């Protein structure tokens, strides 16, 4: 269930709890979406955390989530806070296997950034590497599982996934590579 944080009838306290229980979020995103002062958000978070109505994970970002959310979903959400990883996952969900150069071209991310994302996703066993001399392609191992993770953690992307369109590389990218 997606919460409408623009509902003027909801208090900050209600918006904050509803939002966190519906999907994991970062502290800054919660402040931004709720239109509540960060001090107010912090005040209600401490109440909800003390009452164990919500949980938090502190890493590079402060992630707030429902106690019912399983750890694999939380790990997936944390992984997708990296924009390159999010791009690679979405592109591979929408396509068949692709080479690293295709992922770079489609995502418009740097080659080193895409390389790090692929290595991390390989280490997490979310994608597989298919060797084709002299290059490799990458694909998601279990698209249904990853899409399920996406529905639980970022429902707005999952609900609008059909509208997501891969813009295949502009010809100029390949011209520049070969000159």
Find the domain containing 38 and state its range. Answer: 12-69
- Is the confidence at residue 63, as pLDDT, over 90? yes
Residue ranges of alpha helices (H) inside 56-110 are: 71-79, 83-94, 100-107
User: pLDDT tens across 137-158, in order?
Assistant: 999 999 999 999 999 999 988 8
Assess whether 41 and 98 both reside in one domain. no
**Residue 150 falls within a domain, yes or no?**
yes
94-131: per-residue pLDDT in tens?
898 999 999 998 888 999 999 999 999 999 999 999 99
141-149 contacts at long range (C-beta below 8 A, 24 or more positions apart): 143/93, 146/76, 146/89, 146/93, 147/93, 149/72, 149/73, 149/76
Residue 1 domain flag: no
- Identify whether 36 is part of a domain: yes
Confidence check: pLDDT of 168 > 70: no
Do 27 and 106 fall into the same domain?
A: no
Whether 101 and 49 share a structural domain: no
Q: Are residues 143 and 81 in the same domain?
A: yes
Residue 3 lies in a domain: no
Q: What is the CATH number of the domain that holds 108?
A: 1.10.10.10
Q: Do residues 161 and 92 both lie within one domain?
A: yes
Which of 62-83 are b and which e, b meaning 16 or more Cβ less than 10 Å from the residue's Cβ? ebbbbeebeeebbebbbbbebe
pTM as predicted: 0.81
Q: How many domains does the chain divide into? A: 2
């Amino acid at each position: 269930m997606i919460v409408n944080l623009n509902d003027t009838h909801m208090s900050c306290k209600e918006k904050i709890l509803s939002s966190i229980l519906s999907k994991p979020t970062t502290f800054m995103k919660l402040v931004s979406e709720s239109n509540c002062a960060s001090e107010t958000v912090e005040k209600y978070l401490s109440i909800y955390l003390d009452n164990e109505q919500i949980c938090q994970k502190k890493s590079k970002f402060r992630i707030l989530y429902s106690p019912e959310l399983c750890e694999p979903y939380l790990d997936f959400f944390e992984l997708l806070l990296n924009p390159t990883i999010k791009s690679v996952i979405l592109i591979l969900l929408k396509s068949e296997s692709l080479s690293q150069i295709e992922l770079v071209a489609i995502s418009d991310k740097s080659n080193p950034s895409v390389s790090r994302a692929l290595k991390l996703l390989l280490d997490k066993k979310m994608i597989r590497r298919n060797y084709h001399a002299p290059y490799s392609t990458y694909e998601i191992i279990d698209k249904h599982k990853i899409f399920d993770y996406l529905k639980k953690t970022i429902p707005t992307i999952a609900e609008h996934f059909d509208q997501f369109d891969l813009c295949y590389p502009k010809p100029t990218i390949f011209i520049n590579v070969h000159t």
